[in-house]
Structure 1
Amino acid sequence: MRPLDPRLLRYASAARWFFAASGALSVAQTGVVIAFSWLLSQSIVRAIAGDPLAELAPTVGALAAVIIVRAILIWLQDGVAERGAAAVKSQLRAQVLDTVARRGPDWLAGQQNTRIATLITSGLDALDNYFARYLPQLLLSAIATPILLLVVFLNDLPSGIIIVIVLPLIPVFMILIGWATQTVQRQQWEALQRLGAGFLDLVGGMGTLKIFGRERRQGARLRTITEDYRQRTMKVLRVTFLSGFVLELAGSLSVALVAVTIGLRLIDGSLTLAIGLFVLLLTPEVFLPIRQVGAQFHAAADGLAAAEGVFEIIEEKDARSASVLPRGASAATEAGMLSFSNLTVHRGERETVSAFSARFEPGVLSVISGPSGAGKSTVVTALHGHLDYDGEIALGGETLTRGTARSWLAWAGQRPGLFAGSIEDNLSLGDATRDPAFAATALAWAGASDLDPATVLGVGGEGLSGGQAQRVAVARAFYRALAHDCAVVVLDEPSSALDSEAESALIAGARALAETGRIVIVISHRPAFIAAADHLIRMREIAHV
């Protein structure tokens, strides 16, 4: 775990202006600290010397102005930190989501969904402390400490020598503490991921557990994971408090050494009160940034661990996503023929699709049928651009490349994938403008004209039956095709949860969409769809020895 990861600058451009702004503010704060110490020492010395209040007034007024300026600089630093953290988090989240989308469902299937969700939500939220507390102190220590130390040297050489000898002790303690913190923090982070994964598994399987009367037995397992996370969290807190005590003790003893030598030289007259007081006021400021870096390192550890996990995802070597991919065809591609030529797909060492060739014409209802495992959904995944494959996929004579934009494609998968919100929200998927006419048409073609677009659904489409949820998912693909003029529409097992009447309405809707000049491809093993197909392609399961 590095104190400052250069990958932040690479993947989050917002971090660059944050560092620039924080650096400028750190320089300004350093100047204010020097001015404050000088003005305060002069005010005290002149007051002791008996200068009248009228003569002291300008110095005291300047001191008050410096205090106000210092408060403003601290406020500006907090504002810059908050804005920087928000911008960096947004950019890193976008990078992760882009990476996940680029690598596709095959890569995602091999990952822990809970881990990724934790990283891009609460994990990256911990970067607030990293930017608000840790980085400003790190920059301040890099800028202020050398400048303040130089000022001390110029005014009192013995005090400067003492600080140079004692100052390295604090970084040594910080390194030792950092190693301990890194270990316990990583263990806590792993415990949090286990807790999230365990809780998600329990909630997801609660229905099955309840059917078999095993729901109560999971309580002990969840308590064990929670207790492990609690113990590791308390261990992190213990390390934090102990390390803070050690750093404070080292800093206090270092300042005390300087104070003792200054006192002795004031007594024998080898040092003036003005210089001694000025150096004594600056000495704690020399140590303060470094002490704060050590103290705030713990507050930043969560965010650093999460950012490291994000960088691992972004930089994970993947032959399928290592090259820079060109921009894809736009929805403006005229609805020419969609062709697959000798498409072969490997997943690991297993060949899931072998030399698949087919042509799909606009205005035709095409159905791909075949047994489970024949590779029907794999063909669709390759069309999405989520898989590496041998062969060629072309639309309107233009070869498609993996990872390019598919703005010409509308699709409904085997899982509805609905979310909390109205049915219209689910159909439009965040479009800035919504067309009620398209929504009504899409629902009617999907055989769901009885559903009100204003109906509010719960999480996961709660409030609809399985068949209704499936029809809304198909209507979403229809809506996208109408609203965005998509040339190709793909439906993967769209009637698996429908009765014969609803299936007939859906078939009629799919045919109506095809008659608008679009390529409509349905993956189905249902006899009704096979019988209604204008163009039927049967796939066979590949025999594996």
Structure 2
Amino acid sequence: MTPDGPADPPVRRGPLDPRLLRYARATRGFLAVQAAIVLAQSGVIVGFAWVVSRALTGAIGGAPIGELLPLVAAGAALVLVRGVLIAASERVSAAGAARASLQLRAALIAAVEKLGPAWLSQRSTTALAVTAGHGLEALDAYFGRYLPQLVATAITMPIVIGAILLADPLSAVIVVLTMPLIPIFMVLIGLATGAVQRRQFDTLTTLATRFADTVQGLGTLKIFGRQHRAADSIDEVTGRYKRETMSVLRVSFLSGFALEFLASISVAIVAVTIGFRLLDGEMVLLVGLFALLLAPEAYLPLRQVGAQFHASAEGMAATSGIFAVLDAARAQGDRTRTVTAPTAEGGALLTARGLRVPRGERMIGPIDLDVRAGEVVLLEGASGAGKSSVIAALLGFAHAEGEISGGAREAIAWMSQRAGLLSGTVAENVALGADTPDAVLVARCLTDAAAGDVDAGIVLGAGGAGLSGGQAQRVALARALYRLRATDARVLVLDEPTSALDTDTEAHVWASVRAAADAGAGVLLVSHRPSARTIADRRVAVASVLVLPAEVPQ
């Protein structure tokens, strides 16, 4: 099973966090269009209230039909215009949200690529997939609804309140005095909403991770008769997720009721004062109706801000995981590696001087390394000494100190301990990265990797499903050989290429590796097998030492 690995410290951020708003800059052009649309909507709202007020007072006063029909037609036209503006607003908001989410997703992918396999191997890939998938999709509501609604509120409220002020100053004062109640309750409700939404998202991540681990280790679980216990565990987490979801819905409904109740009470106060003044003859009916029709519109933007906050809360809950990855990549900075020259010193294809790789509380190295054309260099060390970490540093996937020369990734053909096969044919996996696989070269590489019995046309499932562990390892070796022969790569880096192979197959692989070196490639090999020494020209020992936490690069 895949372990969850150490988690990054949680990062809790608010809805207007500068980091999140930085990616919202992609929507600035869309927000400008949105502001123009909202301005037009505000004018329509005021105009519609005035037209309806005129029509109603005219009807009550016994105005002829000929005078009322133009008002009714104008009201219908304004309703149609408002509908068109709302549709346009939704379209613009969706386009802006798509652009902002795309930039944030690209930044997340770039951060994961920068942190590399060494970092990724210590994390739960399932949890990261949930964050990058469902979490980022949920952020569409933040970029496409919440932020545009804030813009709409900032524009619509002053215009509507200003119109009420011109018609009836007392009603405008009542609106202004009662309006702060809504933001106060929104803040209190928002704190509760954020807490339950984060618990729901964390539970979803746990559920996805538990399910993926169970599926991956199902064979082992069945052998030991523990599959039912794993299923019960998933069922328990599923029940917890259901309860968390119901908690989110309960808070959302209660908050919606509270906001509606406050707005209704505030409008009722305005209506009562208008009613008493109408009875006393202090106000004409036209002005009273106009102010009364606009009063709900004054509170509506704030209520919608609360509603959109709830819609975007799940996405904001995912930002803790997103920004934890981005912060980790930024902290890594440029310390991963330094390629000082395209060609290494002394005719070597790959050189490392004083290479030190931090790993937890231990420091691997220092290591001096030269890989020349035509030779096989074997990295040796006890299990866990850090040989794979050295490979990751040479490839630029891990923190490192020292100098690395001639180690550009495009010059290296690499095979990791994990086969890393993808859905598709065996040929597509061997020729990964090539536009069109060379069938002859694919067959040759499979043969040299002792995988000549594997049909290149077999379609594999996710993770290379359809092959045994040994077959998958040999296909991965064939992929490295294909890259070496089909590109400008001159260095072949192999990390435990025969760990799942029998003695005879291993001998075939060693002969192919030796032949690759004899053909002019430089080979850097990591292997625990004693037989690897038979093809090695030089051996380099890898060891690590315990260091004080303050000495470990952050």
Would you call these one fold, judging by a TM-score over 0.5?
Answer: yes
TM-score interval (norm. to shorter):
0.7 to 0.9
> How does 1:492-511 map onto structure 2 within 5 Å?
492-511=495-514
The alignment status of 1:173 with 2:176, answered yes or no, reads no
- Give the counterpart of 1:358 among 347, 364, 369: 369
Question: Which one is further off, 520-529 or 283-292?
Answer: 520-529
Aligned to 1:224: 236
The alignment status of 1:245 with 2:248, answered yes or no, reads no
Aligned to 1:391: 402
**Preserved CA contact (<8 Å) 2:117 2:397:** yes
State the Cα distance separating 1:361 from its structure 2 match.
1.4
* Paired residue type of 1:536: R
* Paired residue type of 2:114: R
> What do the CA deviations read for 1:12-54 (whole angstroms, capped 9, x no partner)?
5524334333333322322222222223333333444455555
* Paired residue type of 1:279: A
> What do the CA deviations read for 1:47-73 (whole angstroms, capped 9, x no partner)?
444555555554444433332222222
Aligned to 2:131: 119
| Pair 327,123 (structure 1): closer, same or farther in 2 beyond 3 Å | farther
- Give the counterpart of 2:211 among 155, 175, 199: 199
State the Cα distance separating 1:284 from its structure 2 match.
0.9
The alignment status of 1:27 with 2:29, answered yes or no, reads no
> What do the CA deviations read for 1:402-458 (whole angstroms, capped 9, x no partner)?
xxx723322110110112222233234465555445434433433334433332111
> How does 1:33-432 map onto structure 2 within 5 Å?
33-316=45-328, 319-321=331-333, 337-353=349-365, 355-395=366-406, 406-429=409-432, 431-432=434-435
Q: Percent identity?
A: 47
> What do the CA deviations read for 1:451-500 (whole angstroms, capped 9, x no partner)?
33332111221111212111211222233334442232211111222234
CA distance in 1, matches of 2:167, 2:340: 66
Question: Which one is further off, 127-136 or 255-264?
Answer: 127-136
> What do the CA deviations read for 1:228-262 (whole angstroms, capped 9, x no partner)?
22222222221111111111111111112212222
Question: Which one is further off, 233-242 or 36-45?
Answer: 36-45
State the Cα distance separating 1:304 from its structure 2 match.
0.8
CA distance in 1, matches of 2:284, 2:421: 77
SS at match of 1:362: coil
Aligned to 1:519: 522
**Preserved CA contact (<8 Å) 2:39 2:156:** yes
| Pair 270,327 (structure 1): closer, same or farther in 2 beyond 3 Å | farther
> What do the CA deviations read for 1:85-127 (whole angstroms, capped 9, x no partner)?
3333332222223223323344435444433222111122212
**Preserved CA contact (<8 Å) 1:329 1:408:** no
Question: Which one is further off, 126-135 or 273-282?
Answer: 126-135
**Preserved CA contact (<8 Å) 1:524 1:530:** no
| Pair 12,479 (structure 1): closer, same or farther in 2 beyond 3 Å | farther
**Preserved CA contact (<8 Å) 2:339 2:404:** no
Question: Which one is further off, 300-309 or 513-522?
Answer: 513-522
State the Cα distance separating 1:379 from its structure 2 match.
2.0
CA distance in 1, matches of 2:291, 2:339: 62
> How does 1:427-506 map onto structure 2 within 5 Å?
427-429=430-432, 431-506=434-509
SS at match of 1:522: strand
State the Cα distance separating 1:290 from its structure 2 match.
0.7
CA distance in 1, matches of 2:298, 2:538: 79
| Pair 318,75 (structure 1): closer, same or farther in 2 beyond 3 Å | closer
SS at match of 1:491: strand
Aligned to 2:10: none
CA distance in 2, matches of 1:22, 1:324: 43
Aligned to 2:551: none
Question: Which one is further off, 244-253 or 208-217?
Answer: 208-217
* Paired residue type of 1:472: V
State the Cα distance separating 1:153 from its structure 2 match.
0.7
**Preserved CA contact (<8 Å) 2:374 2:518:** yes
CA distance in 2, matches of 1:255, 1:424: 70
Question: Which one is further off, 435-444 or 299-308?
Answer: 435-444
| Pair 298,321 (structure 1): closer, same or farther in 2 beyond 3 Å | same
Using structure 2 for the length normalisation, give the TM-score.
Answer: 0.86
Q: What are structure 1's unaligned runs of at least 5 residues?
A: none
**Preserved CA contact (<8 Å) 1:11 1:95:** no
SS at match of 1:419: coil
- Give the counterpart of 1:537 among 533, 539, 544: 539
**Preserved CA contact (<8 Å) 1:9 1:16:** no
**Preserved CA contact (<8 Å) 1:8 1:15:** no
| Pair 465,299 (structure 1): closer, same or farther in 2 beyond 3 Å | same
| Pair 462,112 (structure 1): closer, same or farther in 2 beyond 3 Å | closer
Question: Which one is further off, 184-193 or 15-24?
Answer: 15-24
Using structure 1 for the length normalisation, give the TM-score.
Answer: 0.88
Question: Which one is further off, 411-420 or 268-277?
Answer: 268-277
CA distance in 1, matches of 2:31, 2:441: 48
| Pair 59,110 (structure 1): closer, same or farther in 2 beyond 3 Å | same
SS at match of 1:345: strand
**Preserved CA contact (<8 Å) 2:252 2:310:** yes
CA distance in 2, matches of 1:282, 1:121: 42
State the Cα distance separating 1:344 from its structure 2 match.
2.7
**Preserved CA contact (<8 Å) 2:419 2:472:** yes
State the Cα distance separating 1:313 from its structure 2 match.
2.6
**Preserved CA contact (<8 Å) 2:410 2:488:** no
> What do the CA deviations read for 1:252-283 (whole angstroms, capped 9, x no partner)?
11112212222333333332333222222211
| Pair 430,267 (structure 1): closer, same or farther in 2 beyond 3 Å | farther
Aligned positions, number: 535
State the Cα distance separating 1:301 from its structure 2 match.
1.0
* Paired residue type of 1:93: R
CA distance in 2, matches of 1:212, 1:31: 71
Question: Which one is further off, 313-322 or 360-369?
Answer: 313-322
State the Cα distance separating 1:371 from its structure 2 match.
4.1
State the Cα distance separating 1:317 from its structure 2 match.
8.3
